[in-house]
Structure formats: structure tokens, C-alpha cells
Chains A and B, each alone.
Chain A
Amino acid sequence: EAQVTQNPRYLITVTGKKLTVTCSQNMNHEYMSWYRQDPGLGLRQIYYSMNVEVTDKGDVPEGYKVSRKEKRNFPLILESPSPNQTSLYFCASSLNPVGSGTYEQYFGPGTRLTVT
């Protein structure tokens, strides 16, 4: 089954404690992206990756890091989480949008993060 998986699904942590949210897709997609969703603000893109070892900032990258060492995985790293990073996080993947324009994105189930 084609899918995007995220782990963990729920996480409560404390300020400053490094954490990683994993994302994996089994569709051989080149493009992967992280979003955060907050009430009243909709979805905002954090980082995206066009392919292995190619990443770039989205609209709200501050406080986050990503890496893309393998095509299927795109982990999101919060090195020193703060309460304003409490949010619902989504990973998504698609075919490479370059040239032909964007394609439909496949979303993971979400990770609800609370930073106290």
C-alpha cells in the first residue's frame, strides 16, 4: 500500500530536549516536505527536499533541521524545542515538481507535538 508514515504520532516533551520526528514513504517519490498546522494559520511549509542531499527552507524553518540521506526518509529535527513549536506536523511526498509544475502530495497521518 502506498503510504507516508510518521513516528511518533503523539509526543509530549520539555523545552530544550532534542527530538526527531521520522517520515518515510514507499512510493519512490523525489519530493518530500514538512508542514506544521496551527489553528487559524492553516498549513505552513517548514522545509522541503527535491531529492537525496537536496533540501531547502520553506516559510517557517526557524528552529528546525532536516536531512535527506535516503530517498525514502526525511526526518525533522528539533534540536532545542520551545513551546511555540507545539503544533501538528505533517510530512508529505510527491513526484518531482520541477518542470511540469506541482503534483498531488501524499500526506502522513500527522504528529501532534506538545512542548512544555
Chain B
Amino acid sequence: SQQGEEDPQALSIQEGENATMNCSYKTSINNLQWYRQNSGRGLVHLILIRSNEREKHSGRLRVTLDTSKKSSSLLITASRAADTASYFCATGNSGYALNFGKGTSLLVTP
């Protein structure tokens, strides 16, 4: 069942700007993951943050997790046209499934 919900649904920025997208979820989680999907292609894992972590970095990506608010944010710094894609958060608990949100569509224009 879907749990994560991304906000905004769509985001348009210019190259060099930062992009921030948010994810809210409803129940307790073990970890939260962010994935990227280029148009019509398979999802690519970006970063995983566990419930006992508050912040994680990977290159130009910064993810935060606030379990008290049941929310996470993904920050992409110094965006490039190649960052144009849909971004999904996915929550994992002690079960077997990853529950995906509906995604944020990011457009980065030159």
C-alpha cells in the first residue's frame, strides 16, 4: 500500500538552483529511500536513510529525516539539466515491501 506522499507534485527550476522535495508518510518506518526515474525508465536508487539517522549526504544530495513529523526531504544542490527526472520516496518497515509515493516531477531548464 502506498504510504509516502511527495510534495510538490511538480517542480521547475533553472540550472544552478537548488531543488527541494518533501515526503510525508503515515506509519512508523525502518528506513526511507529516495529513487530517481528518468522518463519511462527503471528507478535508480539514490540514498537510504535509516530511522535512527537524521541527515545523510551523497554528492549533491542531502536527505533529512524527521521521524517525529513523519517526513523527509531531498535537497539537490546546484541542479543540472541532467537532474530532470521524477523522484520517489519509498518507505520500508519491518515487513517485506517498499511503499512508494507518487513522485515529484523535477524539470531543470538551462
Contact = CB atoms under 8 A, between A and B. Distances in A.
Interface stretch (B10-18, B36-44, B67-75, B76-84): B36-44
Nearest to A35: B100
A99 B3 CA distance: 21
A105 B98 contact: yes
A112 to B, nearest CB: 7
Interface residues of B, number: 26
Contact of A108 (B2, B42, B48, B103): B42
Contacts of B100: 35, 42-44
Interface of A: 4, 31, 33, 35, 40-45, 48, 50, 56, 58-59, 88, 90, 92, 97-98, 101-110, 112
Interface of B: 1-2, 30-31, 33, 35, 40-45, 48, 50, 88, 92-98, 100-103
